[in-house]
């Protein structure tokens, strides 16, 4: 039961943070970093840039993680260049929220970083 409550709490807090980050017309560097981190996680992207004025997201999506080897220089990792249009940034970012355990741990880390709150990760 507590596991479900924790998941809901983390999801609600990350959605609140997204709403807060999209409330102003002028996005701070802190919130830009949050937006990029969410998109990199969801799309498994190597490079993400957001054009807030034109409402576009450009990224290179990694197609095969198995070719990545941290022990050597990776000269070729297959990627797909994507140029996405969004109507509403807040809705777009909220649609990228996943509820699996790995993602929830990632979001808890983002919450600690961006809100200075500690979200206890005690999943039984």
In a domain, 72, yes or no: yes
Considering the domain boundaries, does residue 124 fall inside one?
A: no
Share of the chain above pLDDT 70, in %: 89
Residue 13, domain member (yes or no): yes
Whether 123 is in a domain gets the answer: no
Distance from C-alpha of 59 to C-alpha of 66, rounded to nearest angstrom? 20
DSSP bridge pairs for 45: 61
Percent over 90 (pLDDT), the chain: 58
CA–CA separation, 111 vs 116, rounded Å?
Answer: 7
> Between residues 96 and 25, which one has the greater pLDDT?
96
121 in any annotated domain: no
Name the domain count of the chain. Answer: 1
Domain for residue 95, yes or no? yes
Is 49 inside any structural domain?
yes
60: domain range? 2-115
Give a yes or no: residue 40 inside a domain.
Answer: yes
């Amino acid at each position: 039961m507590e596991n479900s409550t924790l998941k809901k709490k983390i999801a609600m807090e990350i959605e609140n943070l997204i709403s807060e980050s999209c409330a102003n017309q002028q996005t701070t560097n802190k919130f830009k970093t949050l937006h990029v981190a969410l998109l990199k996680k969801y799309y498994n992207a190597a490079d993400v840039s957001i054009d807030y004025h034109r409402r576009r997201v450009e990224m290179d999506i990694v197609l095969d993680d198995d070719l990545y080897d941290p022990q050597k220089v990776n000269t070729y990792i297959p990627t797909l260049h994507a140029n996405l249009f969004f109507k509403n940034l807040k809705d777009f970012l909220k649609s990228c929220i996943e509820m699996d355990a790995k993602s929830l741990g990632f979001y808890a880390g983002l919450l600690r970083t961006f809100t200075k709150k500690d979200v206890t990760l005690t999943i039984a």
